[in-house]
Structure 1
């Protein structure tokens, strides 16, 4: 098979479409013939050498795929060869085949094409596990989403609105602000000219930025507020006022989906299938795809993501 390999840490040019060994399913796994994968910010970090891989993880990037099951490992039940699925991965999605634990498989939602389904698992599981399972967002609360026009943000806005929350989001420019409002955002803040802290307080903040946002995130949280940090786009360090955390009873959570155990991922996937898939099938939550490129052009897709002009997901397709 072919896969996208990272020959060394660096820019998009280090990605190579090369021949590699086919995967085989271990016990409890299936092999998927990959129809499509989708980009996530972690792929960019991995390419730069900033996202250490767990032992046994595929060296190829790609945290979600869609495709058809082509082989079943020992002990797998409930799935058959030929089933169309999408899946949450720990890596290896930029390829023609990938092995994945059966607990991380999802059906393809009705009304969503097999190619489109590649853009669902990682972003939806990230949003649900963080704003619901970790932060406990409730009806009537206010959620601040940093980066509301991205793959994570577009889902976070819609899922939070479906839960009955008020949603505020930061965006970069009027086009992204307009799209965020179409998806349900109540307030949009252009982070280039406005200070999100002035629009608080917020009950929950979903932060993909990190770094310099830490102090203002804490300042703008309400009493009993919850900050969930899932990205470090703006650095690894920030100021932290412990008095505010103590006196406002603030909770700060740092999470990644990729490093969770198979059992934890399976539990998240099960909730997503049960709670979010019906919202996608009835149109309450929409998948937003910016553009689709051939898998062999992963380097160009990475350039597009790093340029920051996209809205929603960028999808890679095996021809």
Structure 2
């Protein structure tokens, strides 16, 4: 099979297409013929050498795929050869075939092609577990989603709005505003021109927002605490501006704030399978009804994975960047 290898740590140019033996499905796994794979920020970090795959995971980059089941390992019960699925993987997505634990697979929603289905797993798993399980966002609350133009952001906006929340989001370029509003954002904050804390306070009549989903960290941390309402929740999923911050404990105590965060990739199969079933129960009906759909920015052939990484690093995209594998 063809796959994308990280020849050495470095820039996008270190991604090269090579060939290797096609894997075989182990017990409890299905082998998927990959038709499309999503590009995500952790792939960039892995290529740069700062985010190694967890023990036992494939060193091939790629955390989400969509395709067709071509074989099933011993003990697989739900899926059969020929089923069309999308799946969260711990690595190996940038390839023509990948093994996946059966519990991490989900049916492709009605009306979705492989391109749009491949844009679902990584962001939907991340947003569900962080914004709704850990962040406990509920209908009629207000969420602030940082990085609204990215894959996580566009997913979080749609999911929060579909489940009845009010949504603020930050974005860097004016070209994203109309798209993010169409996806459900009640207010798009152009962070280069506006103070998101001030806007959040104005929007909520000085109460503050209930939940913040943040992948920036660094200088955003203190400002996030200022923007939160009484008993607000800050959920940290990355730290693009730095992981070390100063915490004013008294502010946290006085406002009774909850600060939490998580990573998805290192979680075990049992936990990822549980999240998949929660998504299938709570979110997949909305996808089947056409109430949500990933916004696709660019589709590239597998051999142009380096171009996809370049686009992501430039942060000029709105939505998902997808590799077309077959």
Coarse TM-score class (shorter-chain normalised)? over 0.9
Post-superposition offset of 1:194: 1.1
**Aligned residues: CA RMSD:** 1.0
CA distance in 2, matches of 1:54, 1:286: 30
Post-superposition offset of 1:115: 2.5
Post-superposition offset of 1:185: 0.6
Post-superposition offset of 1:102: 0.3
CA distance in 2, matches of 1:164, 1:235: 32
Post-superposition offset of 1:42: 0.6
CA distance in 2, matches of 1:53, 1:11: 18
3-state SS in 1 of match to 2:154: helix
Q: Does 1:224 align with 2:231?
A: yes
3-state SS in 2 of match to 1:177: helix
CA distance in 2, matches of 1:59, 1:94: 10
- Tell me what 1:247 maps to: 254
3-state SS in 1 of match to 2:114: coil
**1:195-235 Cα deviation digits (max 9, x unpaired):** 11112311100001122211111121111111111112222
- Tell me what 2:43 maps to: 43
Map 1:3-22 → 2, pairs under 5 A? 3-22=3-22
Unaligned runs of 5+ in 2: 201-207
Select between 195-204 and 261-270 the one with higher mean Cα deviation.
Answer: 195-204
8 Å CA contact 1:88–1:104 kept in 2: the answer is yes
**1:150-192 Cα deviation digits (max 9, x unpaired):** 1111111111111111100000121111211111111111111
CA distance in 2, matches of 1:48, 1:240: 29
The two structures have a TM-score, normalised by structure 1, of 0.98
Post-superposition offset of 1:237: 1.7
The runs of at least 4 aligned residues of structure 1 exceeding 4 Å deviation read: none
Post-superposition offset of 1:52: 2.4
Q: Does 1:183 align with 2:183?
A: yes
CA distance in 1, matches of 2:288, 2:316: 28
- Tell me what 2:27 maps to: 27
- Tell me what 2:126 maps to: 126
3-state SS in 2 of match to 1:158: helix
CA distance in 2, matches of 1:133, 1:35: 31
**Which of 283, 291, 297 is the matching residue for 2:290?**
283
The two structures have a TM-score, normalised by structure 2, of 0.96
CA distance in 2, matches of 1:173, 1:294: 27
3-state SS in 2 of match to 1:34: strand
Q: How many residue pairs end up in the alignment? A: 319
Post-superposition offset of 1:119: 0.6
Post-superposition offset of 1:138: 1.1
CA distance in 2, matches of 1:90, 1:189: 33
3-state SS in 2 of match to 1:129: helix
Unaligned runs of 5+ in 1: none
